[in-house]
Amino acid sequence: MMIRSRAQRFGPAMLLVACASAPPSSSSTPSNAASTTARSSDFGVVLMAHGGTAAWNEAVLEAVKPLRAHHDIEVAFGMAEAPALQDAVTRLEARNVRRIGVVRLFVSGESFVDRTEKILGLRGGAPATPPPPPRPAPTGHAEHGGAAGHGGHNMATFRVATHSSFALSAQGLLDAEGMGTVLADRAAALSKTPAREDVLILGHGPGDDAENARWLAKLDARAAVIRGRAAFRRVQVETLREDWPDKRAEAQARIRAFVQRAVQEGGTAIVIPFRVQGFGPYAEVLEGLDYVADKQGLIPHPEVTKWIEHEISALEAGPFRAALPAE
């Protein structure tokens, strides 16, 4: 589906937008196929995904669906939420899984690593029992929900009860060369006259400046596929850093200036999110400007499913880590 901004007098433009966050869901979704299929291996998979809306969650489940015939998979939605991870591990162990590969379907491989290791008992610092339920919190930002913890997530940390050992994926979608193909495919679908189109790849971005620089470098590497396919007038990367107001304000000014320049110079701008799913806050960021966009993030696309399968295969080979003794 294509979105066009209010003014339509200019031709199509290209702005590629990348972001990793979305409204959350803190529950694990059982894999019906895996639940009813006998497995001879003791290896299973927990796929961690941010999740949120019904459309977001369904898109993740569709990306995993082709892999269920060969792998026992449970999905744990949320920002490394202990209850969702516990549910996923419990379901796998009920099917005699004892080696669990944890694939982290986040844009950045740096997201929630320490927290995940604490919850799985691979690192100290998490209590062995769940804390009491949090008190109701006031409603927060519409994009993130504003309920328990950050962005409406259940951020209570505790160690899962488990008999299994774990192997965790280290990379995110920013590290996956195939995501360049996704972006180039999105660009081709929206482009009409590349020589008059400017491309901006925009990521959610972290608060830490050094980590943000790593995001930008990886985004630019993914942009190489776009540059190689068509002679666009410009291809540039930015991060919105949307959860840090001061840094967001500066980034948003640059983003809007980039889109405005494309029009002022007789060209256009197209907006494609690098988010895992959906368009996020970008319609608001670009309000009043002329651009062309679709509502798709990285999924649906077969390259995402291929990346998940690659991560599963790498994790199954080990090594696996057992939980540390309880503190």
10-residue mean pLDDT profile of the chain (327 residues): values are: 44 42 42 44 96 91 96 96 96 97 95 94 86 49 31 69 96 96 95 94 91 94 96 93 95 95 94 88 94 89 97 96 85
The DSSP H or E segment spanning 129 is none
pLDDT at residue 9, as a whole number: 38
pLDDT at residue 295, as a whole number: 79
Amino acid at site 73? I
Tokens of 156: 């209570």
- What domains sit in the chain, N to C, each tagged with a CATH number? 2-21+178-298 (3.40.50), 28-170+303-322 (3.40.50)
Closest CA to 236 of 264, 269, 263: 269
pLDDT at residue 52, as a whole number: 84
Cα-to-chain-centroid distance, residue 230:
26
pLDDT at residue 286, as a whole number: 95
pLDDT at residue 108, as a whole number: 92
Closest CA to 282 of 310, 323, 314, 240: 240
pLDDT at residue 130, as a whole number: 73
Other C-beta atoms closer than 10 Å to the C-beta of 10 total 17
Instruction: Give per-residue burial for 105-141: e unless 16+ CB within 10 Å, then b.
Output: bbbbbbbbbebbbbbbbbbeebeeebeeeeeeeeeee
Tokens of 10: 């200019």
pLDDT at residue 273, as a whole number: 87
Cα 100 from Cα 102, distance rounded (Å): 6
Closest CA to 204 of 242, 235, 171, 236: 242
Tokens of 13: 């433009």
The answer to whether 156 touches 83, Cβ cutoff 8 Å, is yes
How large is the greatest C-alpha to C-alpha distance in the chain, in angstroms? 66
